[in-house]
Amino acid sequence: MIHGPNIEIVRQNDVNVVNLLNEEILDEAIIAEITDSLFAFVVENPAANILLNFSKVKHLSSSALGMLIRLNKHISETKGNLKLCSIAPSLLEIFVITRLNNVFEIYEQQTEALTSF
Amino acid sequence: MATNFFAEIQIPSDYQQAKKVEDDILHAAMHFDYPDQDIFAIRLCLEEALTNAIRHGNGMDDNKKVDIRYYVDSKRVEIDIIDQGNGFKLEDVPDPREMDNIDQPNGRGILLMKSYLNVIEYNKKGNGIHMVKYKDKAVE
Amino acid sequence: MSNLTIKIEAQGNITIMKLIGSADMTETQEFDASIDKVLALGCEHIIVDMKSLFFACSMALGSLVKLRKKCYQDKVKLGLLDIQPSLHKVLRTTQLDNLFSIYDTIEDAVKGQEQEETSNE
Give the pLDDT confidence score for residue C121 in this predicted structure. Answer: 43
Q: What is the CATH number of domain C4-110?
A: 3.30.750.24
User: Helix, strand, or coil here: C121?
Assistant: coil
Ranges of each domain in chain B: 8-88
Binary contact (A96, C86; C-beta < 8 A):
no
Supply the pLDDT for residue C15: 95
Closest partner residue to B39 (CB to CB) among A28, A69, A98 is A98
Quote the CA–CA distance of B49 and B131 in Å, as a whole number.
9
Mean residue pLDDT across chain A: 92
Does 2.60.120.10 match the CATH number of domain A2-115? no
C82 — pLDDT class (breaks 50, 70, 90): very high
Please name the helix (run of DSSP H) or strand (run of DSSP E) that holds residue C77, with its range, or none: strand C77-81
The CATH code belonging to domain B8-88 is: 3.30.565.10
Q: Contact at 8 Å (CB) between B64 and B9?
A: no
CA angle C50, C52, C57 (to 5 degrees): 65
Whole-number average pLDDT of chain B: 94
Domain boundaries, chain A: 2-115
C30 and chain B in contact, CB less than 8 A: no
CB pairs under 8 A between B and C: 60
The pLDDT score that the predictor gives to residue C116 is: 58
B37-46 average pLDDT score: 96
pLDDT on residue C58: 95
**Is A99–B19 a contact, with Cβ atoms under 8 angstroms apart?**
yes
Give the B window 47-66 contacts with A, CB below 8 Å: none
Give the mean pLDDT of A28-43. Answer: 91
The answer to whether B139 contacts chain C (CB < 8 Å) is no
Task: For residues C68 and C51, give the distance between their C-alpha atoms in angstroms, rounded to a whole number.
Answer: 19
> B105 to chain C: which residues are within 8 Å by CB?
62-63, 65-66
C54:A97 CB<8 A: yes
Give the ipTM.
0.92
CB of B64 within 8 Å of a chain C CB? The answer is no
CB B54 within 8 A of CB B15: yes
Chains that touch A (3 or more CB pairs under 8 A): B, C
Put simply, the answer to whether B32 touches A65 (Cβ < 8 Å) is no
Per-residue model confidence (pLDDT) at position C42? 87
A-C interface: how many C-beta pairs under 8 angstroms?
A: 19
Helix (H), strand (E), coil (C) string for B35-82: CHHHHHHHHHHHHHHHHHHHHHHCCCCCCCEEEEEEEEECCEEEEEEE
Average pLDDT over residues C94-110: 93
